[in-house]
Structure 1
């Protein structure tokens, strides 16, 4: 047997006879530290809900903007104008398309 093993056995024998009981107040303090009531998660959740309510509550949904009604004739004329520009028609043909478009707009203005 080595000296370290002998020392370990001797120490174990001596310490086995000693009985140590901590004070009851110490156990209470340990218990309080281990079983602390944690309130911050609840408070953080409540604060975030309140913040969301304050920020989002007064916001109104965006107003629906209705565009003026576009007639089928005007839409068709716009398509013809786009094609005229796309196919590089002559200036006279493009001007004629624009005049037709202006005529359609004037007729739309006369309608109720």
Structure 2
């Protein structure tokens, strides 16, 4: 299928996941990126996000960025093993980066 870069929807630091809205956008062929800039935004919702990732293709992306006063713990991504499109960028500091090699469902 391939990622649809022309129609991109970004959901930034959601307080809850609106699964209906995410799936509506995906079913319309849009590339949806759920993105987080701080651990306080994603700690409780990664299991639900992983469940959504399991049912959708590479047009559902997850992004971790910012974390300006923190070091991003890349072990966080191990909580979303079904992610197919992952963005880990714009970080000043990151640790446990070897975790990036442990995701088996990434789209290349």
Q: TM-score range by the shorter chain?
A: under 0.3
TM-score by length of 2: 0.21
TM-score by length of 1: 0.20
Bigger helix share: 1
Higher relative contact order (CA 8 A, sep 6+): 2
